[in-house]
Each structure stands twice: as structure tokens, then as C-alpha cells.
Amino acid sequence: MVSEVDPAIFHRRYFGHCFGCSFCNDGCCDHGVDVSLDERERILARADELEGRLGVPRDRWFAATITDDGDFPGGASTRTAVVNGTCVFRVAGARGCALHAFALERGEDYHAIKPMVSSLFPVTFGGGALLCSDELADGSLICAGEGPTAFEMARGELRHYFGDELVAELDALAERVAAR
């Protein structure tokens, strides 16, 4: 549940049109991503279809460590593995998330299989707050600086995960922040 918002999501900007980018080589996918245990199970439920595509056995897709975290649905999370210097779910030899591409190729909603943290990036959550990812906050995200705000780019994803009511509140807050 979101009870707080870091106003930085309305100020910090980045080149948010990822497939229009020619300079980052999907650098944001190099570290893997946090996933709820429910998300992990949804991905593993499709393992027979995904394993050949990824070229990595399913038992190497996730870290063994489970972290208690009340911000995640189910109250716990793990991380996707990093294989050959990038998230195991990055499309090998191309751009983007293999889970996202997999869903779209089948006419499915990518939200059913792609981790929420990936979809929201570089907006994230923690301690009941929406905030900028560390990479956007500290400027180390290669595409940080120009473009839409983090909120503008994440607005549709925030609507999907948190609903119309929260997005209406965030829209009003964004207007107040912009008026200052």
C-alpha cells in the first residue's frame, strides 16, 4: 500500500522511450530485479515454454535468497539471476525483456508474467513510498537527465498496479509540484 510519495518522481527525468534509445544497450537490465514470490511462481509456471527461449535452465533463473518485505504482495521477494552479465530474462542478442516479448508474442498481457519492479522502473517502492530507483536518484542511470519525468513514464503502470484513485491523487500532486 502506498502511503507516501517522494516528489522526486515528478522532477527526475530520463530518456523514457527505451526502444528509441541507441546508447544504453539495456544497461538497466544488467543487475536483475526483485520479484515477489507470486511473480516467481507465475514465471515458473511457464518454464516449459520459456526455458528453450532463454537457454538457461529454470533452476538458475532466481536467487535462492528469500527476503521478507511487506511492500511486496505476499510479503516476501527474491531476485532474478544475473547470467553472463545481465538479467536472465533479458532478450539474448537483442533488446528488452524476454518475459515482456514472450507475452506480447502470444497476445497476452505482459503484466501477468513480467515483474512489477521491471514494469515500473525507474519508479520503485519501499517502506510504503513511491520513489525513484537508486540509479535515477543518484544519476548513474545512463539515460537520466532529459526526457519525461519518472512519473509521466510510469503513470500507466502505476494505474495498472495501484488503480485509478492513486493515479488521480498523483496527477493532482504532480500539478502542485509543477506549480511551485
**Is residue 150 within 8 Å of residue 14, measured between CB atoms?**
yes
Task: Give the pTM.
Answer: 0.89
Residue 66 to residue 168: CA distance in whole angstroms:
34
Residue 105 to residue 95: CA distance in whole angstroms:
15
pLDDT digits (tens), the chain, 180 positions: 788 999 999 998 877 666 566 666 666 677 899 999 999 999 999 999 999 999 999 999 999 999 999 989 889 999 999 998 889 999 877 778 999 999 999 999 999 999 999 999 899 999 989 999 988 888 877 767 788 899 999 999 999 999 999 999 999 999 998 888
Domain spans of the chain?
A: 1-22+121-180, 34-115
